[in-house]
Amino acid sequence: MKVLVTGVAGQLGHDVMNELAKRGFEGVGSDLAPEYAGMQDGTAVTTMPYLSMDITDPESVRNTII
């Protein structure tokens, strides 16, 4: 299963992505920055797919997800 996680530059999103990887799920992270700008701690989230997206902008969400 593929899961989109918003806010991966923050602690909760970061931890959710790592937990998904640990459980064998495919996670795709998103946040406002053009590239992943969260903690560079060598965990799974730092190598998983990343999309720049503003979840408050419907057009940005539409263009990213569809």
Instruction: Identify the bridge partners of residue 43 per DSSP, sorted by sequence position.
Output: none
The larger pLDDT score, comparing residue 64 to residue 54, is at 54
pLDDT mean across residues, the chain = 93
At 14-43, the pLDDT tens digits run 999 999 999 999 999 999 999 988 888 999
Q: How far apart are the first and last CA of the chain?
A: 17
Q: Which residues of 5-23 are buried (b: 16+ CB within 10 A; e: fewer)?
A: bbbbbeeebbebbbebbee
> Where are the domains positioned within the chain?
2-65
C-alpha to C-alpha distance for 14 and 60, rounded to whole angstroms: 21
Instruction: Give pTM, 2 decimals.
Output: 0.85
